[in-house]
Structure 1
């Protein structure tokens, strides 16, 4: 087993001081299944104040007895804090969220039996033999290692009791099953369905955190399908279920529900970040209420679903307590996801307006949402010619243009420095200066350009005109080359 030294040293130090100490919980589950743990937890019979005395850099700021042991100067975020918690027994959960009382227990077995699922109730003992050699042994009173091998999520003891203790476990079961591609034990599933309404006691923040973990898993669509099957999706994203059975027009092979799930899944397959995955699952969220049948063609229309959807998405994300940054970004992507137009007629100025509306920093994310949307319709290609052409036009529109505006001086400066009146000479001088700067960007300083402008202003007008027009033509040719390279990149004309 590969246990980092920053982790193994913690139970080793506790054992040296005469205490018991084990790795426990999700980190053991992940290690045994060959996954990289997202955090590391240790359980011990040492009390918090005794834990703190053994380690140089700690913090203790909670009611659960958990002491954080800090590893400084380490880049791996999962190793920066190792949490150590005394064995404990928890009292009743009156609010279905947290125990009324916590009592430190005497044995590891007492601690393990309070945990949620068998695969999270496995303890791992580490014994240092010599140097970097360790001996590992598993303490598994609830059969978690067998369930881990079989791919089963099973509650510790009676599932109904576990879910009534902390209702979030209902959603956590779905999340872990999604992340690990496991199935629910029959008794656990039955209790989950019976206790699903307990999620109504859980704060939006805790539900959001589990929802995000489902979205960021490899198979988020399966997770949301499972949540729907078990009757708990209404506590996460009830608006999504409104798309079930909402047929679309001929461009779509699926109803709104299935389309959104397939769009989300493609965003996960592409490993896109959270805001794109949120936009993928929410982009058509207002199709149900905007659907109308065209009396002439008999086709369904969804006019304005992007505008209505953006407002709805903001309400949803605010309800789930997402950050202002995420809310703004996702709302913009949903609002403008219907940007697609005929690339044979659309102009670069229209593309620039789109970039302004969605934000230049978001425009490529919008294209990624569009690719996922296309796959979600049942089409085989995510990037057809029209979409690649649009990508090319965006890059053309956003690139820094080769214009005299790049220079550190302008026409007004030249008139002042060279004592010239407005006229053609100013343009000739600017184009000549731009040509020099394009050849050598280091020349783009106010001092050099002022001196060079003075020299050019003293030339006869015919010679200055020749230099200026030649420079302008060279710049236009360079511009054309850049555009040609951009179009080659996307295989478009």
Structure 2
């Protein structure tokens, strides 16, 4: 969507709300969502889009999730949608997404995370399940994460007042069930008559790129301490700034993270790390006193100077390495390896100044990385991959010093499948050190050498026949003639790979068997020269690929 919602959406007071008619708002709502809203309205209930989907619509983004709030109680929602699932205590009913008569049959687990799509004859919806939540009002949060009991509210205003940030406390009411398809084959519909409900000026904060808590920020973070991490996540996902009072409240209540499940912290951390602004996220975690409750080991590198090969402190280098990995859209494994690869340097540092050393830091960094990721309950296979990258990130290669045998040993150590990840990690490490080139000559030369040793050698083993076939067809015993014939056949196959069939090669063996020994020797010598020339051409092509000599 190419529009600036802030030119068209201007709030006007109504029912003590910030509300504005949005007839000019060109937003696309999936047909499945409109069907659900229409059924709720026909049953006499209100239906609003709420949360992140409204925020994304106003930002001109494609929403990832669609959530509906209603004044209908869960049991009333279930009457309207008999196949819905209500397996929680938070007033949220999961409804199957339907598109006209077509329906997707989807089963959802109790934790709303694992979904199993069942095959059916009907055309599937683009969505799986849609969550419908009854208006709620705030209660007591003993565990700093979930309300002790669910208290239903009567109005959307009260429901919005319990939400975390103003940019997420905006509702969109569909006032009319009339809608018009944008095209005959389009499953999405243009919003023609709606109302933006914005009691906390969330649209203004969207316009000004601000993350601000709803109402009293200290109360919001006391209710749900995971909001401390979510504030940082939204700031980096949207490239927004955190409003000063909200930031101060985060600093004051940072310690509440200690009572939050590690899995929840991990999930928010991953979302932060996987944004292009991941480095800003780590800096925010530190500036807001959160880092010491998430990855305290990283803080050990703050102010720790390095040797003559670095211009940044250990902490700065780690964050800058992550920054390069994030901005180049590297995988989660590489990003975390970039962040943790030098995490043990403060503990292994010996001496001060340009000649200080960090011997063995890669080994200890790998052990520390394993402990950190295990503490945050990362999956075992992910931990193993990241630890492997950290452990061997300090590989040595210098042009002219490392032989092909050495390159083969290197490949066995790191695993051929991990070469690309190790090179990307080395790039992040280099740029994070302040050097101008991510891939200098010796890295390109290493890639050339790796491809060279991985390249299958050109040999008679590539043929569809072997020495036994030659002896059997010509009724001869082993001897130099067999090798000569195979080399001649190999040369012919190099020239034309389509000749590499058992039928053709057996026919050629019979023809070559009729030649004299001198004729065979001459042809075999020519074949060997052409093979060497061909292999040299392949090597030159590899060199050109990596810009090496």
Q: Structure 2 length as normaliser, TM-score?
A: 0.82
Aligned residues: 489
1:4-153 correspondence to structure 2 within 5 Å: 4-6=29-31, 7-52=33-78, 54=80, 58-64=84-90, 65-70=92-97, 72=104, 79-126=127-174, 127-132=176-181, 133=190, 134-153=192-211
Q: Which moved more, 1:306-315 or 1:231-240?
A: 306-315
Please give the residue correspondences for 1:55-454 in structure 2 after superposition, counting only pairs within 5 Å: 58-64=84-90, 65-70=92-97, 72=104, 79-126=127-174, 127-132=176-181, 133=190, 134-293=192-351, 299-411=355-467, 414-415=470-471, 419-446=475-502, 448-450=504-506, 452-453=508-509
Tell me, what secondary structure is at the counterpart of 1:85?
Answer: strand
Does the residue aligned with 1:155 lie in a helix, a strand or coil? Answer: coil
Q: Distance between the aligned counterparts of 1:251 and 1:305, measured in 2?
A: 15
Instruction: Write the distance in 2 (CA, Å) between the matches of 1:212 and 1:145.
Output: 27
- 2:301, 2:315 within 8 Å by CA — same for their partners in 1? yes
Q: Is the contact between residue 266 and residue 376 of structure 1 (CA under 8 Å) also seen in structure 2? A: yes
Q: Which residue of 2 aligns with 1:3?
A: 28
**How much has 1:452 moved relative to structure 2?**
4.4
Residue from 456, 465, 470 that aligns with 2:521: 465
Assess if the C-alpha contact under 8 Å between 2:205 and 2:211 holds in 1.
Answer: yes
Moved more, 384-393 or 412-421: 412-421
SS at match of 1:334: helix
Cα offset for 1:235?
Answer: 2.1
Say if 1:463 and 1:161 are closer, same or farther in 2 by CA, change over 3 A: same
Q: Which runs of 5+ in 1 are unaligned?
A: none
Distance (whole Å) between structure 1 residues aligned to residue 125 and residue 275 of structure 2: 23
Normalized against structure 1, the TM-score is what? Answer: 0.91
Unaligned residue ranges in structure 2 (runs of 5+): 1-25, 99-103, 105-122, 182-189
Q: Give me the whole-angstrom Cα distance separating, in 1, the residues matched to 2:315 and 2:490.
A: 55
Q: Distance in 2 between matches of 1:413 and 1:289?
A: 65
Which structure has greater helix proportion? 1
The question of whether the paired residues in 1 share the 8 Å contact of 2:77 and 2:93 is answered with no
Q: How many angstroms does 1:443 deviate by?
A: 4.3
Q: Check 1:138–1:451 CA distance in 2 against 1; reply closer, same or farther (3 A cut).
A: same
Moved more, 341-350 or 223-232: 341-350
Where relative contact order (Cα < 8 A, 6+ residues apart) is larger, the structure is: 2
Q: Distance in 2 between matches of 1:123 and 1:276?
A: 38
For 2:346, what is the secondary structure of its paired residue? helix
Q: CA offset at residue 426 of structure 1? A: 3.1
- Offset of residue 252 of structure 1: 0.8
